[in-house]
Structure 1
Amino acid sequence: MKSIVFEQTGKPAEILKPTDVPMPEPGLNEVRVKVIASPINPSDIMFVQNLYGIRPQLPSGAGFEGVGLIDAVGEGVQMDVGARVGFTSIGTWSEYAIAHQRSLIPVPDNMSDDMAAQLFVNPFTAYAMVQDAGVPEGGWLMVTAAGSAFGKLVIQLCKMRGINTIGTVRRDDQTDELKSLGLTEVINTESENLPARVKQITDGNGVACVLDAVGGHTATEALKCLAKGGTMIIYGLLSLQDPAINAGLLIFRELTVKGFWLTDWMRRVDSQTRQDVAQNVISLLSSGKIQLPVEASYSLDQITEAVEHADRPGRWGKILVKP
C-alpha cells in the first residue's frame, strides 16, 4: 500500500514522500481503516519538523486524523467492518491506517466525508477551550489568528453562546467572512495597536480570556488586553517565538497564563465528558450550524503541493489529503 513517510525531520515539502509499505494488521483493540480523507493541520506540520509534543519515531508516517471505513478488526473490537468512522492515529496520510478503537467516532450518514475528516482535532479543541475559558454570555473573548480553521470554529461557537468575540488578523480581506460567521470585532495587528483597540472596544475593561496560537509579539500584546483576573490560554506557536511575559501584569491584574493540548485534555477528563463533547460536536456539525470549509484536496502523490498549499497565506478552508 502507499503511505506518506519521512525518514528525517525537517520542512514537510522537502522530506515527505509517498512510499510503498506493507499492509498493516490490527492488533488487540485495534482496527485497520481504509482512509477516505485526512486534513493537514498545523499539528501535523509541527510533528514532521519535530516541534510537537509527540516526537516522531523515524521512519514515521504523518497525519493525525481522518475519516475512513473499517477494513479489518483486531481481537477485542466490537465494531463492524465497513462502518464509516472519524479516527485519530499517527500516519493517517495513507491508503490504510491502524487506529485504537478508543479513538473511533462513528460518523452519521448525513455528514460529508470532507467534514468528517476534520471531526476531531479542531472541533474538539475549540469546544473544549471555549468551555475552559468560562466566559459568560455577554462577556468578551479574544482569539488570535482568527482566520484559521480553529479561529472560525471558536467564533461560531461563541456566537451560539452569546459571547462577544474579538479576532486578530493580518489582512483586511478576511474581515467580511469573519463578520459573517459572527465575529463581533476585527483588529488588524499589522496596522492597529492591539491593546488600545481592545480597551476602546470593551469600554476600558479588557477581555476575560485570550485564546492564542501565535506567540511572539502578538501574544505579548494580547496579554495586555486581559481584564483583571483574566486568562490567556496558549495552544500553539505559529510564529515559533515565545511571548514576553510581563510579571507586573500577572501580579497586579491577577492574570493566569496556561497551556492547552487536546491530547492531555482527553486523558484528563472522564469518559462521560469525552462522550458529551463528541455528541455535541457531532450534533453541531451534522446540523450545519458549524461549518468546516475545504479549499482543496490532493492525492498522496501530490503531497508536496498539498503541504505547500496548506502553508500558503490567505487560505479560506482546510486542505485535505485523499488517498
Structure 2
Amino acid sequence: MGSERVSAHSKVEFGRASAGQDISMLQLLATSYGDPRTSVSLERAPTPALGTDDILVDMEAAPVNPSDFLLVRGGYGLRPQLPSPLGGEGVGRVIDAGGGPGSSLVGRRVVILPTYEQGTWADQVVTAYRNVVPIREDGDPLQLAMLAINPATAHLLLHRFTELADGDWVGLDAANSAVGLCVNTLARRRGLKTLNIVRREAAARTVRDAGGDRVIVAGEDLPAQIAGALDGAELGLALDATAGPVVADLAAALRFRGVIVTYAFVTDAPQAVRAHDLIFNEVTHTGFWLLNWLRHAPRTEIEQTYCALNDIVANGELTVPVEATYRLDEYREAIEHATAPERRGKILFTFT
C-alpha cells in the first residue's frame, strides 16, 4: 500500500519548499456526492493569490476523519458546492501572508480549525487568518494534526453541559474512538471516572490501555452490564456517538437531571430516550457539533482552549493511536484503509 507504519509517539520530520518558490498546490477534491472511493480526485492547481486576511500554510500532516467521509456522502451538517477541497483539520507552518494580521504568523506552526472554509488534504493551504491558531514548536506533528477536532470535542463535552465533581461518572459509547480515548484522558485529569461501552474485546483492550475505569463489551443485556459496572453509582454525564439503541440504556443510568449528549451518529433514525427517564428523572438529551462552537464562541475562548490542549498533546499526555500514514498520491489506499473495519488507529496524510 505504500503506507508508513508509525507509533502514536513517533517523531516525524517534515520539510518543504520555502515561501519564495513558485509551487502549485496538490490537493484532494470531492467531485461528486457519493462513495468516497469514487467521489474523490487528486488535482494540481496554481497557488491562488493571497487576500489581505489570507495566509499560506505549508502542511505537515492532516488526518482522515469519519466526518470527511460523511461530507463526501452528502450527510454532513453542511453541503459545499462541488468540486470542493477536502480535509477538516491539520497542522503546518505559515510561509506567506497577504499583508494583514496574518503577517505576524509567518514562520509559525499553526493548527487549521475545522471551519470547512478550506481543505487540509493538500500540500499547501490558503486560508483566512481567523481559521488557524498558532501552537508550540515542539510535539509530534501527527498528534498535533489531530488537535483541532477530537481533543477539542472531548474537552467541550466534559465542560459545557453539566457540572461534574471529583469522582463523578461519565458514560460513553464508541469508547475506542478518537474522541472516546480523549475523553478518558481528560476525564482522568479532572478526577472523573469513566464507564466505557465498546462492541468487541479488541476495542475493550484499547480503552483499558488508555486508562478507562470500567469497560463493557456490549452484550444482549446491556442495562444489566451497565448496572453491574456502576455497582450502585449513577452517571452524571453520558456521551453518545451512535444515536442508536444504546442511547436509552445510557440515559437510564443517569442521575436526577443528568445529561446525555449525542455528538455523532451511525444512522439518522429517531432517538430512543425513554419517556420515563425524561419525565421522572428529568434527564436532558441534547446535541453537540464542534462547528457551532467555532462559529459562536469568543475568539479568546477558542484560542485558550486550543492552547491548553496543545500543551497536553505536546507533552505526550494526550495521544491518539496512529495506524498508518500516506502520501496524497496514495489517497485511494488511504481511503480504503480508513474505512476498513476493526482498524486500531487513525489514518493521516503526511507531506514531505
Provide the TM-score with structure 2 as the length reference.
Answer: 0.86
Q: Bigger CA drift: 59-68 or 19-28?
A: 19-28
Cα deviation, residue 8, structure 1: 1.0
| 1:143 maps to 2:168 | no
2:112 match = 87
| 1:33 maps to 2:62 | no
What percent of counterpart residues are identical? 33
Q: Which runs of 5+ in 2 are unaligned?
A: 1-24
C-alpha distance in structure 2 between counterparts of 1:44 and 1:25, whole Å = 26
C-alpha distance in structure 2 between counterparts of 1:204 and 1:83, whole Å = 51
2:228 match = 200
Q: Is the CA contact 2:31–2:41 (under 8 Å) kept in the aligned structure 1? A: no
Cα deviation per residue 1:73-120 (whole Å; 9 max; x = unaligned)? 113123243322111353111122122212222232221211121121
| 1:131 maps to 2:155 | no
C-alpha distance in structure 2 between counterparts of 1:174 and 1:40, whole Å = 20
C-alpha distance in structure 1 between counterparts of 2:50 and 2:89, whole Å = 17
Q: Is the CA contact 1:13–1:305 (under 8 Å) kept in the aligned structure 2? A: no
Cα deviation, residue 205, structure 1: 4.3
| 1:69 maps to 2:69 | no
2:135 counterpart (89, 103, 107): 107
C-alpha distance in structure 1 between counterparts of 2:299 and 2:165, whole Å = 25
Cα deviation, residue 22, structure 1: 2.8
C-alpha distance in structure 2 between counterparts of 1:272 and 1:95, whole Å = 29
Q: Is the CA contact 1:24–1:97 (under 8 Å) kept in the aligned structure 2? A: no
| 1:20 maps to 2:44 | yes
Q: Is the CA contact 2:37–2:336 (under 8 Å) kept in the aligned structure 1? A: yes
C-alpha distance in structure 2 between counterparts of 1:282 and 1:275, whole Å = 10
- Change in 2 beyond 3 A, CA 1:71/1:286: same
Cα deviation, residue 192, structure 1: 4.7
C-alpha distance in structure 2 between counterparts of 1:270 and 1:70, whole Å = 23
Q: Is the CA contact 2:110–2:134 (under 8 Å) kept in the aligned structure 1? A: yes
Q: Which amino acid aligns with 1:25?
A: A
Q: How does 1:154-303 map to 2 (within 5 A)?
A: 154-189=183-218, 191-303=219-331
Q: Bigger CA drift: 275-284 or 192-201?
A: 192-201
Q: Is the CA contact 1:194–1:222 (under 8 Å) kept in the aligned structure 2? A: no
Q: Which runs of 5+ in 1 are unaligned?
A: none
Cα deviation, residue 240, structure 1: 4.3
Q: In structure 2, the residue corresponding to 1:85 is in which secondary structure? A: strand
Q: In structure 1, the residue corresponding to 2:196 is in which secondary structure? A: strand
Cα deviation, residue 225, structure 1: 2.3
2:82 counterpart (53, 58, 62): 58
Aligned structure 1 segments of 4 or more residues deviating by more than 6 angstroms: none
Q: Is the CA contact 2:133–2:303 (under 8 Å) kept in the aligned structure 1? A: no
Cα deviation per residue 1:276-295 (whole Å; 9 max; x = unaligned)? 21221011111221112221
1:9 match = 33
Q: Bigger CA drift: 31-40 or 130-139?
A: 130-139
C-alpha distance in structure 2 between counterparts of 1:12 and 1:220, whole Å = 32
Cα deviation, residue 210, structure 1: 0.8
Cα deviation, residue 272, structure 1: 2.9
Q: Is the CA contact 1:296–1:320 (under 8 Å) kept in the aligned structure 2? A: yes
C-alpha distance in structure 1 between counterparts of 2:257 and 2:97, whole Å = 50
C-alpha distance in structure 1 between counterparts of 2:333 and 2:255, whole Å = 43
Q: Bigger CA drift: 236-245 or 149-158?
A: 236-245
Q: In structure 2, the residue corresponding to 1:23 is in which secondary structure? A: coil
Q: Bigger CA drift: 239-248 or 211-220?
A: 239-248
Tell me how large the CA RMSD over aligned residues is: 1.7
The number of equivalent residue pairs is 322
Provide the TM-score with structure 1 as the length reference.
Answer: 0.94
C-alpha distance in structure 2 between counterparts of 1:276 and 1:91, whole Å = 24
Q: Bigger CA drift: 148-157 or 98-107?
A: 98-107
Q: Is the CA contact 2:326–2:334 (under 8 Å) kept in the aligned structure 1? A: yes
Cα deviation per residue 1:259-302 (whole Å; 9 max; x = unaligned)? 11111113333233223212210111112211122210111121
Q: Is the CA contact 2:111–2:145 (under 8 Å) kept in the aligned structure 1? A: yes
Cα deviation per residue 1:163-190 (whole Å; 9 max; x = unaligned)? 110111111112233112210111112x
Q: Is the CA contact 1:83–1:106 (under 8 Å) kept in the aligned structure 2? A: yes
